[in-house]
């Protein structure tokens, strides 16, 4: 497991070089996973890479979250964000289609204002050479997530100081309408519980990226 260092710009440059080296077959499609704890900056790093890779496509794992209605039916609404609250089968199927290539694929996005997935919210063109998918559980060693991990050419782990992550998460929950008390309690009781699972799987990453 490797680690890289540097400013955000330096990190992005190093990752672009790495992607170039991974692309041994110019015609083949490359799937890169970006994992990390809630609030680590996975989406921020992903968009920095997408800005530098005009031929790349984005598949957010959050798009495969079960809706609140489904979570309520399963009795999981209070655990929203935990590994079992995602449609791992749908995620696996979408990534498998993307791995094969040859056609446009529509994948769900996630609306932060609604806190709900949106079906077919993102188009991945058949011409995309690099697919980046970011999410919390790409390295989780549970069978349903392990088979997802196998689809990626590499999975990188975004490592961010805990205090910074927690501050970001509390502010994020408040920005989307939660009270400060609710935000702090949710982060400690739900987000941090999930973070412990995620951090335990760091050793399964191909690369660790310190990012703040």
Tens of pLDDT, residues 89-143? 999 999 999 999 999 999 999 998 899 999 999 999 999 999 999 999 999 999 9
**Spatial separation of the C-alpha atoms in residues 133 and 35, rounded to whole Å:** 9
Strands 105-111 and 116-124: antiparallel
Residues 138, 142, 143, CA angle at the centre, nearest 5°? 100
Q: Identify the CATH number of the domain defined by range 2-210.
A: 3.40.50.300
Q: Report helix, strand or coil for 162.
A: helix
Q: Report helix, strand or coil for 159.
A: strand
**Spatial separation of the C-alpha atoms in residues 122 and 124, rounded to whole Å:** 7
**Spatial separation of the C-alpha atoms in residues 212 and 147, rounded to whole Å:** 30
148 CB neighbour count, 10 Å cutoff? 26
- pLDDT the model gives residue 11: 97
Report the first-to-last Cα separation within the chain, whole angstroms.
20
pLDDT tens by residue, 160-209: 999 999 999 999 989 988 899 999 998 999 899 999 999 999 999 999 99
Q: What is the pTM of this model?
A: 0.94
**Spatial separation of the C-alpha atoms in residues 176 and 187, rounded to whole Å:** 14
- pLDDT the model gives residue 113: 87
């Amino acid at each position: 497991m490797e680690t890289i260092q540097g400013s955000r710009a330096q990190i992005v440059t190093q990752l672009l070089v790495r992607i170039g080296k991974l692309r041994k077959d110019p015609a083949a499609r490359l799937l890169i996973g970006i994992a990390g704890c809630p609030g680590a900056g996975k989406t921020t790093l992903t968009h920095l890479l997408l800005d530098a890779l005009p031929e790349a496509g984005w598949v957010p794992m959050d798009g495969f979250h079960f809706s609140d209605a489904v979570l309520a039916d399963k009795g999981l609404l209070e655990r929203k964000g935990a590994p079992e609250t995602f449609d791992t089968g749908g995620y696996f199927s979408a990534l498998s289609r993307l791995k094969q290539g040859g056609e446009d694929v529509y994948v769900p996005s996630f609306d932060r204002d609604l806190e709900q997935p949106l079906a077919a919210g993102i188009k991945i063109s058949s011409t995309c050479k690099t697919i980046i998918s970011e999410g919390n559980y790409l390295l989780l060693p549970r069978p349903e997530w392990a088979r997802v991990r196998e689809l990626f050419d590499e999975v990188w782990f975004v490592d961010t100081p805990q205090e910074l992550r927690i501050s970001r998460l509390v502010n994020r929950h408040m920005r989307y309408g939660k009270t400060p008390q609710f935000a702090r309690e949710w982060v400690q009781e739900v987000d941090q519980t999930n973070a412990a699972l995620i951090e335990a799987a760091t050793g399964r990453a191909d690369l660790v990226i310190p990012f703040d």
